[in-house]
Amino acid sequence: MGIRTWDRTPRIMNLRDIHTPVLLDRCVELLAPALAHEGAVLVDATEGMGGHSEALLERFPGVHLIGLDRDTDALRIAGQRLARFGDRVTLVHTVYDGIADAVASTGRTHVDGILFDLGVSSLQLDESERGFAYAQDAPLDMRMDQSAGTTAADILATYGEGDLRRIFERYGEEKLAGRYARAILEARRTAPIERSGQLVDILISATPAAVQRERGHPAKRVFQALRIEVNAELAALENALPAALDLLPVGGRIVVMSYQSLEDRIVKRALAEATASTAPARLPVELPEHAPRFRLLVKGAELASDEEKARNPRATPVRLRAAERVREAA
């Protein structure tokens, strides 16, 4: 995918319909010390429809925003929402593992704050024709960037039983992965599986009645697994976090919100490594060059309050982690 600044031509939707950003006040609070000075630079690595960015640009008039997203529809909507900030906003069409190149394309070598709001966006869930939601019948697309790549229907048509089972187990943590893989292969011998309604029917038929009574919708984990596979989300995240941390100077801050355990484990591991001492075992005194590069800003993973969950149900599964750079790299 090429790195390019995005046209901010208004179109697509009424801004009154835009979703409520998750943990907005907390994100502003955590990023505030890094963004309070004139000329500060913020990267919103998952721009979406621009809700978090808008609040941060309003709160900190000296900030320049670099907003990244792979979804061209999201960039157009964010451009409309943020147009009033003029040249304080640069929108870039890229996956977030291209963060270093995106920042370099603006002539900068470092930034002061970075925000990741991971997972599928409200825009993608609400537009039924994108195929992300198992509750609505639609073409099985699931591409966050609809300009390129393999669709979920392509995967269901071409993957063998072993590969389907692998992604359902790895990315959906699905206990019935093998059963569902076999059911899909059997069904596609009769007709291509091209719509979400078809896939939901296959999964429900393959799920024992007792299991259906004990847990949530049979399609939930499979749809998650397909979405992650289509968009290579976990590989992108594993590459993006170290690159993002390297862009932060002393005093720079990063905030990451994840919505499922696989993402959160990657975030937790990356921040644990960044906040750990590199001193050899049994060294009596920690030398300065072995001191941690970052410090955690929250203990563990912070969750949304009951009030926010009631006000904004999409905040229910969120896990927030944050860190600040305290030492330059050796």
Secondary structure in 3-state letters for 79-119: HHHHHHHHHHEEEEECCHHHHHHHHHCCCCCCCCEEEEECC
Q: pLDDT at residue 51 above 80?
A: yes
Is 7 annotated to bind ligand? no
Is 124 annotated to bind ligand? yes
Query: Which CATH fold would you assign to the domain 128-231?
Result: DNA polymerase; domain 1 (1.10.150)
The Cα-based distances of 225 to 46, 166, 167 in angstroms read 20, 10, 6
**In the chain, where the domains are located:** 15-117+233-325, 128-231
The per-residue pLDDT for range 120-137, each reduced to its tens digit, is: 766 656 565 666 778 788
Measure the CA–CA gap between 97 and 45, rounded to whole angstroms: 9
Q: Which two tokens stand for residue 182?
A: 């076999």
Q: Please tell me the predicted confidence (pLDDT) of residue 3.
A: 44
Is 136 annotated to bind ligand? no
The Cα-based distances of 10 to 5, 19, 213 in angstroms read 15, 17, 46
Q: pLDDT at residue 286 above 60?
A: yes
Q: Please tell me the predicted confidence (pLDDT) of residue 216.
A: 76
Is 137 annotated to bind ligand? no
The per-residue pLDDT for range 149-177, each reduced to its tens digit, is: 899 999 999 999 999 999 999 999 999 99
Strand partners, 69: 93
Q: Please tell me the predicted confidence (pLDDT) of residue 127.
A: 61
The Cα-based distances of 120 to 47, 129, 215 in angstroms read 12, 14, 22
Residue 107: which residues within 8 A CB-CB, separation 6 or more?
Answer: none
Is 52 annotated to bind ligand? yes
The per-residue pLDDT for range 244-260, each reduced to its tens digit, is: 999 999 999 999 999 99
Q: pLDDT at residue 145 above 90?
A: no
Q: pLDDT at residue 100 above 90?
A: yes
Measure the CA–CA gap between 153 and 106, rounded to whole angstroms: 37
Indicate the CATH number for domain 15-117+233-325.
3.40.50.150
| DSSP state, residue 141 | -
